[in-house]
Structure 1
């Protein structure tokens, strides 16, 4: 069977509809200042029936998945298109900042992410993209950073970078920090990669 590289027109339209419904839900979350809105109200705002909503989102909390998938796709695309030469840290910073408008968040975006970070069932949906990000990060690092030969040595640094990034964004969002997110990421990425370099196994030979 031939594997399709691109989604069909029907699949693209379905994804566009999911994203439109998700954006309407985000607008309501931000306007209300909480996530207690009913499915009926989200569906009405998006111009679809509750039945259509549930066809695309089995649970109400699933409605935020397209938002996080879009952001993670932007980061992954930036990582895969990045040059293999140059400063690794600066390339990582540029990839993560690529999902932000002019390197920052609007008040509405920050309020939305605060709700997501502080509400367990929504935070779980946000964290779902971490595995895909980690896979792309592992590929990125393998081409640019000297790693050990053991599979864990080749995969663990990617998970460290991704989870360090989440920690930075949590701090930046929940503390209402006015610090430059690029500077925060830059500092953390340098710390993580320095640790990876310091603990990288040194090959030993048999010779004296």
Structure 2
């Protein structure tokens, strides 16, 4: 199944390290980061889940829930969490889906046979409170993800959701943003962007971040 931006994230009920999870119910009115990893007790995955656990407060202040997934069973997840906590000096509090029957992996197209016929790839889905998919990324098994980059994308998504702006290349929270080219009425511009803006080109106008 190919999932595209704007699609409703498929709902499912599956076992996890924290018991059965009905995904849409679990998500509630939060944003979510759903990410798959190839296997428990592997080095890159251990550092990734440790990094996610360390960012728990950053996710919380953005109203984001994290949830991981692999095809390993619940018992494996629970034992591995102890290793993650020990080796990464953290405390994993988010659930890890135990997708032993590959139900969720099939819904989200997480097994790519030309990479591996058994392990899930490193895919990431950012999902908004309306259950819509807002970002997808897929990495090879050999490359760990940058979870600070995922926080940056969430900041951009949440900013641009409620303001008529987009974020330029390498943007970070607090920096100038660009005004959407569709906003042309001078009165609307003055109302929406009271801090003012700089016109570089008619289609490229910079303004201070509106929610700062």
State the TM-score, normalized to the length of structure 2.
0.29
* Bigger share in helix: 1
